[in-house]
Structure 1
Amino acid sequence: MAQNTGTPGKGTGSSGTDSSRNSSGTGTSRTGTGAGPLTLAEFRALYRHLRSTCATATADRGALETITEDVVRAAAGQVRSGRTVTLAAPVETRQTADNPEPAGHRLVAPAKDEATARGLHFARDRFTMNVHGDADSHIDALCHVIYDGTMHNGVPVGSLSADGAHALNIDMARDGIVGRGVLLDIPGLRGTRWLEPGDHVTADDLAAAERRQGLRVGKGDLLFVRVGHRRRRDELGPWDAAGARAGLHPTALEFLAGREVAVLGSDGNNDTAPSTTEGVAFPVHVLALHALGIHLLDYLQFEDLLPLCEQEGRWSFLCVIAPLRLPAATGSPVNPVAVL
């Protein structure tokens, strides 16, 4: 995504931000410190550095290679209370400022005369969805990002055709992604309800959240970074998230590469808008998917998980991510489930 190509849900949008606040002022936050705007040259140097230092950057399955059978068995040991909770938001079927192409859902049966007729009839429905929009929870396959004419690990774009993606598609995760989930709560770290659109999370923020929450992100972890996007949307209403949203600073990907994280998810898009990087609209997507082979989960929700973590006094859990079986797709709607 080196350029904005007009892909629905992944546009750069306007340069302004939605400055509305919670009336109590609790929605405000300080801007992430320790990392400023990046020039294109600085971004390319960061890209090359991550590619050269990350052990899984050229692996066939990308960072999923870090989730070994031993990692899964250890993750199963995270289960204590047995409580389960979704990390997905309900699918949106209404048009809003951040969802100009909402998912479609309608009943196609029974017909009106069938509904009251004697005998057996079925209720049936049909769904349509722009998978990579700015409202619905979804997972990005490694083929989702094209940068400098290639996909992850140099795979040529010729593997993409009108009938689908024939390499690096979401079928790579057909057996599910199961591991230790870790939630880092950045608004909790900063003492605010959410990060304002345009704010960003730095590597220092991630390390500080670890210390505050008493854990350490490790190899093969499924890392979830809360910026409070969903809480802000619930309380203040939808806004043009394509043009203004909180996310990670590109240099925060050094933290993920150093810890050998397998998956990154956020309650926003993972990328800040407006972009912090000259000439690159989605630098975090480029670094995660293209450089490091880290699958991304966008627009999750952690407002159900957050109180459970606070009640139990721990921020790690068994997590199961099960994309749909869409063999040639660039992503999938997703409903990750945390098991505490």
Structure 2
Amino acid sequence: MIDDLALLENYIERCSNWGRWGPDDQLGTVNLITSDTVREAAALVKVGRMISLTMPYDAHGPQTGYLGRANPHLYQLTSGPGYLVGEQYDRETQTLQELRKSTGQSTAGYYDDVLVMPTQSGTQWDALCHFFWRGQMYNGFSAAEAGSAGSRANGVQNYTGKIVTRGVFVDLAAHWGVHSLEPGYAITTDDLDGYLTEKNLEIRPGDALIVRTGFLGARRERWGDYAGGPSPGLSLHTAPWIRDQDIAAIAADTWGIEVLPNEIDCWQPLHVVSLAHTGLAFGEMFDLDALSDDCQSDGVHEFMFAASPLPLTGASGSPVSALALK
């Protein structure tokens, strides 16, 4: 345990970006996405093809209640059948009433609904307020800032409109000819460097690294313990490599990006180092199978990556409609 904590503290000191962009910074590595980065990413769009990287938000997702997270549920305020029999929601009285049958389907009506979901129930960004270590979140803000009305520091709204950059696709499952990496497989820096060398790719400051293990696709029909159970993922020991490369964001097709079970006696140690201290944008449960097919078809593993979260003030995460554009 002592050795594990010493290792973790060493990585924290080695990888921290606290103060790098000033004492009030709440963007972390997203600061590395500059206007030049965006222009260079836009130049990668050659044919105008758009590939969604987002799973459906519905009741059939991977959540099981672990950490209190449920799958999204859509509830109707009004309905088409109700409209057809003359029932609609009256905007003046705010009551549901039966209107005169003569109004029926020959007049205007509407369909309205409510979406109820945890902010981290599907494809999503973690906010920098999501993880704490020794009473603090990214850049030294107190965990006390994350209260019942939302976090006063490091909320996900800080990312809104700012995550548009070059995406570099590391498709280890396809590269190794497997349907999915095995649960518990820790992706190493050698794995990442070897892939990038073979594909003749280089990482540039401000890039988004998009890592496909195949795990989401393998579990899509029967999720089981996908959410929180054993999973392939990045090794804790990739944290210094990530920091040295000045990567702006990492997204993967797993529940939590990092390997599970964790490699040391600490819960989610890569979150502790890279999210809470490096300030790295973490994108989880990205659906990368269509992108894999496309990249295998055209041989192009870099693209414009656009993935802005919703401006949910003070939220610990946000759904995202992510796109790869070629």
Fold similarity call, TM over 0.5: yes
Which residue of structure 2 aligns with residue 187 of structure 1? 173
SS of the residue corresponding to residue 182 of structure 1 reads: strand
Equivalent residue for 2:248, pick from 251, 259, 262: 262
**Structure 2 residue 109 is matched with structure 1 residue 121:** yes
For residues 266-288 of structure 1, the C-alpha deviation after alignment (integer angstroms, 9 at most, x for no partner) is: 0002021111121x211121122
| TM-superposed deviation, 1:247 | 0.8
Q: 1:89 to 1:52 in 2, by over 3 A?
A: closer
Partner residue of 1:222?
208
Q: Which whole-Å CA distance do the structure 1 matches of 2:302 and 2:323 have between them?
A: 13
Q: 1:52 to 1:330 in 2, by over 3 A?
A: closer
| Identity across the alignment (%) | 26
Letter in 2 for 1:41: A
2:219 to 229, 233, 236: 233
**Aligned mates of 2:190, 2:28 — CA distance in 1:** 25
Q: Counterparts of 1:176-215 in structure 2 under 5 Å?
A: 176-215=162-201
- Distance in 2, matches of 1:157 and 1:147, equals 9
1:90-110 residue CA offsets vs partner (Å, 9 max, x unmatched): 113137675662211122212
CA contact (8 A) 2:11 2:239 kept: no
Distance 1:125 1:52, change over 3 A: closer
1:107 to 76, 89, 94: 76
Looking at structure 2, the residues matched to 54 and 315 of structure 1 have their Cα atoms a distance apart, in angstroms, of: 33
Q: Is 1:73 equivalent to 2:58 in the alignment?
A: no
Secondary structure of 1:143's counterpart equals coil
How many angstroms apart in 2 are the aligned matches of 1:294 and 1:283?
13
Q: Distance in 2 between matches of 1:139 and 1:76?
A: 22
Q: RMSD of the TM alignment (CA)?
A: 2.1
Q: Secondary structure at the match of 1:225?
A: strand
Deviations 1:164-203 (A, max 9, x none): 0111111111223111011101123333221111111111
Could you tell me how far 1:335 is from its partner in structure 2? 1.4
Query: Does the aligned pair in 2 maintain the 1:97–1:239 contact within 8 Å?
Result: no
- Quick check: 1:334 aligned with 2:320? yes
Q: Is the 8 A contact 2:173 2:181 kept in 1?
A: yes
Q: Deviations over 1:306-325 (max 9, x none)?
A: 11112221100001112112
Corresponding position of 1:276? 263
The one-letter code matched in structure 2 to 1:114 is Y
Please say if residues 17 and 279 of structure 2, whose CA atoms lie closer than 8 Å, have aligned partners that are also in contact: no
Alignment of 1:160 with 2:146, yes or no, is yes
* Pairs within 5 Å for 1:22-171: 39-51=4-16, 60=25, 61-94=27-60, 98=64, 101-110=70-79, 112-116=81-85, 117-118=104-105, 119-133=107-121, 136-171=122-157
Distance 1:85 1:214 in 2: 22
Aligned to 1:31: none
Q: Following the alignment from structure 2 to structure 1, what is the Cα–Cα distance between the partners of residues 192 and 57?
A: 29
SS at match of 2:59: coil
Contact 2:18 2:278 in 1 (8 A): no
1:129/1:76 CA distance change after superposition, 3 Å? same
| Kept in 2: contact 1:248–1:271 (CA 8 A) | yes
Is 1:64–1:294's contact at 8 Å kept on the other side of the alignment? yes
Of structures 1 and 2, the larger Rg is shown by 2
Q: Name structure 1 gaps, 5 residues minimum.
A: 1-37
Residues 253 and 224 of structure 1: CA distance in aligned 2, closer, same or farther (over 3 Å): same
User: 1:219-272 CA distances to partner (integer Å, 9 max, x unpaired)?
Assistant: 00011111111121136x212121211111011122211110001100002021
Write out per-residue CA displacement over residues 111-133 of structure 1, whole angstroms, 9 at most, x where no aligned residue. 74423423111111111112224
